[in-house]
Structure formats: structure tokens, C-alpha cells
């Protein structure tokens, strides 16, 4: 728990010194380290495709690091507030909030227990706003520690409230997704959606790509797609052993797995003990 807290603090600090388009995709490196440590310390076998997934994540991360944009020079939290209140980002924020409200009110009651994308959509949409607010708050704290007190500005506390609201909503629906569906399904989908929307929000708010040419942007996108491929491959094969194929049950919600087993077509069947005579 201590190492997790330290890691989250370091991740929070990273947003104050580097663009979100660089920090967020590099979160895939934690997946690689976890896989390697599990193989060494917990004796969990890492499938050959899992090793390939780790290599893809490293290659994609290296590509992004080499071509990432420079961090924007900001001297006051008011500058971040001005960026957040520009029409383009306000439109993005309005679309996100409207989509989240519609999903929570209309979609979740009908499809929340059967479609994995429902809960993950709420987490990812709110996550993109939370990262932008975290970055703004991180910049405010960095400037405060350097001698320019930003705690006097109401914008700093506004960003703080937005962070709390977004993170609470994000954690709530992520827990619901993990409680309903298998982690091996939720994790890669959530990583892809969350990272994609965060990069989009950062490009709109902080204009990360304004000072880059087409070649650099395409290289960053290719690196990001490479990381996504490696992450998906690593998660998809983490429960596989040599010479075996992955179970079809990974595609089904947890409650269906607990109620029965699968036939060769992936259809849940009753347990054998439930068919025995009383």
C-alpha cells in the first residue's frame, strides 16, 4: 500500500512537469513491471505472447518519449484557467458531462450488467476531465513550492473540487465494472479508452500538437497504438500457459461464470450438481 501511494504521488507530480500526452501512455510501463515481478516473485508463468506484449509496450513508450511535445511554460494558475475556459475545451467538457449523465440515467439501468463498455465509458470520460484538473492542480502546487503562492486564487480550489468530484465518480463506476466483469476484460478496455480520451482532452486544452509537425504527430500516434497492442496482448494472454488456449469465459460477466459452466459454443450451462436428484 505504501509503494502504491508513493507511485500515485509520483504520477500526480509528473503531470506538473510533462504533458499529459506523454505521462498517460507511459502508465503502461507499470503493467510491464507488474508482469515481470509476478513472474519472478510469485512464480506466475509469463506466456511468450505476454513477453511480446511487454516488448511492444517498451517500443511504443520509447517512440512517444523521443517525439513528445515540450511542456508548455505556465507562470500562473490563471493561465490554466484561461485554457480551460476556451470555447473548444468548454464544448468538450459539456459533451463529456452530458454523455455521462445520459449513460448514468438511461443506459446503466438497462445495460450496465450486460455490456462492459457502459461502466467503462463513464470512468474514461470522467477520467479525462480528472487528469486535466490534476495537471492544473499540480502546476499550481509546483508554482507554490517555487515561491509563487497559487493557493490565494479561487481557480486553484475550483480545480481541487473538480478533481475530487471526477475521481470519486471514476472510482465508483470502475469498481462496479470490476465487480461485474472480469479484470482481464475491464483493464485493457479501460486503459485504451481512458488514455485515448485523456490525450484528446490534453490536445484540446493545452494544444500539445500546435508546435509539432505532421511527422512527429504521426510517430506519437503510432507509438500509442503500439502500446495499446502490447497492453491488450499482455492482458489477453496473462492467464495462458504454454500449449493451451484462453478460456471463453473471459468474455462473460462474473455472475454468469458463477452460475454455470460453458459448453463448446460459449453458452452457460447448469452445474452438474444442480441436476442430481434430491
CA neighbor of 118 nearest in space, from 106, 131, 132: 106
Q: Where are the alpha helices (DSSP H) in the chain?
A: 2-17, 20-23, 28-41, 48-67, 77-84, 87-102, 108-111, 116-145, 154-180, 183-206, 214-237, 254-259, 272-275
CB 156 within 8 A of CB 77: yes
Q: What angle do CA 226, 46, 34 make, to 5 degrees?
A: 70
CA 156 to chain centre: 24
Residue 97 confidence class, pLDDT cut points 50, 70, 90: very high
Residue 238 confidence class, pLDDT cut points 50, 70, 90: low
- Give the per-residue pLDDT at 157: 94
Which of 72-76, 163-167, 221-225, 233-237 has the weakest average pLDDT? 233-237
Residue 126, sorted as left (phi over 0), alpha (psi -120 to 50) or beta, turns out to be alpha
pLDDT at 158 over 80: yes
What is the secondary structure of 104-151 as a DSSP string?
Answer: IIIIHHHHTTT-HHHHHHHHHHHHHHHHHHHHHHHHHHHHHHTT---T
pLDDT digits (tens, 9 = 90+) for 189-204: 888 888 889 889 988 9
Here the cell at position 11 is: 504520477
Mean pLDDT, the chain, rounded, equals: 81
pLDDT at 167 over 80: yes
Residue 251 confidence class, pLDDT cut points 50, 70, 90: very low
pLDDT at 124 over 60: yes
- Give the per-residue pLDDT at 275: 46
**In the predicted model, what is the mean pLDDT of residues 82-103?**
95
Tell me which DSSP letter residue 243 carries. T
Which of 58-72, 209-223, 241-255 has the weakest average pLDDT? 241-255
pLDDT at 23 over 60: yes
> Pick the residue with more confidence: 103 or 261?
103
pTM of this structure? 0.75
- Give the per-residue pLDDT at 68: 80
Neighbours of 43 (CB within 10 A): 7
Residue 98 confidence class, pLDDT cut points 50, 70, 90: very high
**In the predicted model, what is the mean pLDDT of residues 28-53?**
77
Residue 239 confidence class, pLDDT cut points 50, 70, 90: low
- Give the per-residue pLDDT at 147: 86
pLDDT at 121 over 70: yes
Amino acid at each position: 500500500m505504501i509503494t502504491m501511494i508513493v507511485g500515485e504521488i509520483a504520477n500526480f507530480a509528473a503531470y506538473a512537469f510533462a504533458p499529459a500526452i506523454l505521462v498517460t501512455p507511459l502508465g503502461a510501463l507499470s503493467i510491464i513491471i507488474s508482469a515481470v515481478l509476478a513472474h519472478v516473485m510469485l512464480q506466475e508463468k509469463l506466456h511468450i505472447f505476454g513477453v511480446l506484449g511487454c516488448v511492444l509496450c517498451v517500443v511504443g513508450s520509447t517512440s512517444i518519449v523521443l517525439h513528445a511535445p515540450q511542456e508548455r511554460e505556465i507562470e500562473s494558475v490563471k493561465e490554466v484557467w484561461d485554457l480551460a475556459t476556451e470555447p473548444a475545451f468548454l464544448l468538450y467538457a459539456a459533451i463529456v458531462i452530458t454523455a455521462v449523465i445520459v449513460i448514468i440515467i438511461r443506459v446503466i439501468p438497462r445495460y450496465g450488467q450486460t455490456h462492459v463498455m457502459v461502466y467503462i465509458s463513464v470512468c474514461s470520460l470522467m477520467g479525462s476531465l480528472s487528469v486535466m484538473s490534476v495537471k492544473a492542480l499540480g502546476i499550481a502546487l509546483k508554482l507554490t513550492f517555487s515561491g509563487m503562492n497559487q493557493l490565494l486564487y479561487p481557480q486553484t480550489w475550483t480545480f481541487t473540487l473538480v478533481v475530487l468530484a471526477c475521481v470519486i465518480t471514476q472510482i465508483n463506476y470502475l469498481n462496479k465494472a470490476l465487480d461485474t466483469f472480469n479484470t482481464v476484460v475491464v483493464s485493457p478496455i479501460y486503459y485504451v479508452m481512458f488514455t485515448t480520451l485523456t490525450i484528446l482532452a490534453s490536445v484540446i486544452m493545452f494544444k500539445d500538437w500546435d508546435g509539432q509537425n505532421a511527422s512527429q504527430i504521426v510517430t506519437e500516434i503510432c507509438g500509442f497504438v503500439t502500446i495499446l497492442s502490447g497492453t491488450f496482448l499482455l492482458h489477453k494472454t496473462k492467464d495462458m500457459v504454454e500449449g493451451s488456449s484462453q478460456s471463453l469465459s473471459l468474455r462473460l460477466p462474473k455472475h454468469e461464470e458463477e452460475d454455470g459452466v460453458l459448453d463448446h459454443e460459449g453458452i452457460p450451462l447448469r452445474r452438474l450438481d444442480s441436476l442430481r436428484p434430491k
